Amino acid sequence: MTTLKTFAPDYLIEAAERSGFLQCPTCGVIWFGRPNVTSCPGGLDSHGKAVRVAVLCRWNCDKTIPIEHFAEHLDSIEHDFS
């Protein structure tokens, strides 16, 4: 069985690798921070190595958002959720 590098389609692989978000390929948990920790935070070694994911804002802009810009992006005027 091959190990996934990302859960992103080909055109988003580069964005996924830069995103800062990781996902467990078995249980689906997504996390960010501590990029050197690539196993499931549930401590379940059987889940295997995490893969990078691209996070897209689908509100009205369809942009990939890296973790370092996530709060700034959601706080922008175009994301007035009220």
pLDDT tens-digit series, residues 16-60: 888 889 988 888 888 888 777 778 877 666 777 888 888 888 888
Chain segment 71-82, per-residue pLDDT in tens: 888 888 777 766
Cα separation, 61 vs 43, in Å, equals 36
Residue 3: pLDDT band with limits 50, 70, 90: low
Residue 5 lies in a domain: no
Would residue 33 count as lying in a domain? yes
Q: How many domains does the chain have?
A: 1
In a domain, 47, yes or no: yes
Report how far residue 68's alpha carbon sits from residue 81's, in angstroms, rounded to the nearest whole number.
21
Domain contains 2: no
Using the predicted structure, report yes or no on whether residue 1 has a pLDDT greater than 50.
Answer: no
**Beta strands of 1-82 (E only): which ranges?**
21-23, 30-32, 51-53, 56-57, 63-64
**Domain containing residue 66:** 10-79
> Is 51 part of any domain?
yes
Determine the Cα–Cα distance for residues 38 and 60; give it in Å rounded to an integer. Answer: 31
Q: Global pTM?
A: 0.73
Helices H, strands E: what count in the chain? 2, 5
